[in-house]
C-alpha cells in the first residue's frame, strides 16, 4: 500500500486513480503520515445479492485467510442465523 498526503493527492488524483484502476494497487491518503482514507479499485464483477462493502471485501481478498483455516469455518457456519 502506498501512502499519499492529502496535499499531494489533490495534485496527482488523475494519475493515482488511473494507477489504481490499472494495477489494483491500494493507496491511502491522510495527514501527518496517518492513513485516513483508502482508494481501491471497485470490483469489475459484483454479486448483485450483496452490498458494496461485501463486494469490495471479496475483490480485495479480505477473506483469503479463511482458505488457510478450513476447519474453523464450515459452510454450515456461514448459513447459521443468529437472532
CB 61, CB 55: distance < 8 Å: no
Look-up: residue for cell 501512502? 3
Q: What is the pLDDT of residues 37-77, one digit of tens each?
A: 888 887 777 788 888 788 777 777 677 777 776 666 666 77
1 DSSP 8-state letter:
-
Q: Identify whether the C-beta of residue 28 lies closer than 8 Å to the C-beta of residue 35.
A: yes
Structure confidence by residue, pLDDT tens digits, 10-34: 899 999 999 988 988 888 899 888 8
Residue with cell 494495477: 23
Amino acid at each position: 500500500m502506498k501512502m499519499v498526503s492529502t496535499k499531494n493527492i489533490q495534485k496527482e488524483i488523475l494519475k493515482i486513480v488511473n494507477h489504481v484502476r490499472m494495477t489494483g494497487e491500494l493507496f491511502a491518503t491522510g495527514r501527518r503520515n496517518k492513513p485516513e482514507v483508502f482508494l481501491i479499485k471497485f470490483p469489475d464483477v459484483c454479486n448483485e445479492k450483496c452490498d458494496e462493502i461485501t463486494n469490495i471485501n471479496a475483490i480485495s481478498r479480505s477473506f483469503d485467510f479463511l482458505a488457510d483455516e478450513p476447519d474453523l469455518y464450515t459452510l454450515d457456519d456461514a448459513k447459521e442465523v443468529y437472532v
